[in-house]
Amino acid sequence: MQLENETSDFIEFKVDRKDLAKNLGISKEDNFPEVFATARMIALMEASAAKILIPLLNDGELSVGVEVNVKHLAPTLCGDIVKSTATFVGMEGKLYKFSIEVEDSGGKIGEGTHTRAIVTKDRLMAGANKRVGK
């Protein structure tokens, strides 16, 4: 199966307290706001692109993100629903390229491009283990 250009899909997601920037601090000096975290928005964007690739996966395969280029345009409050829409825009070698937009009840909050690859889980894990000497 091949993807047609402009194939798109979306994921809707309710922003919870765990998704707020305030709760994603790494050090005690971090003081982030109580709005939807950019890191969580990126995860949602990746998930909406990955959803499009599911029909292409064979047993033992999964898709992985290899590049993300995003702009977080507006804050979203806890409890709001965000919708990430990914659109397949073409191939670059074996890489799948996507355009993605995210919106909440007030309009567009994020946009960007994302690249994914299809790999076997075994090969991915073997490479990760080799990198750290396991």
103 part of the active site: no
Q: Catalytic pick from 12, 67, 72, 101?
A: 72
3-state secondary structure of 83: strand
Those residues whose C-beta lies under 8 Å from the C-beta of residue 105, and which sit 6 or more positions away, are 80, 81
Phi, psi of 68 (to 5 degrees): -135, 135
Residue in the structure block whose two tokens are 């946009």: 111
- Catalytic, 114? Answer no
- Are the beta carbons of 51 and 9 closer than 8 angstroms? yes
d(CA 101, CA 5): 16
Q: Is 113 a known active-site residue?
A: no
Kindly name the residue from 7, 34, 38, 103 that is annotated as catalytic. 38
Of 6, 12, 29, 46, the active-site residue reads 46
Q: Which residues does the annotation mark as catalytic? A: 38, 46, 72
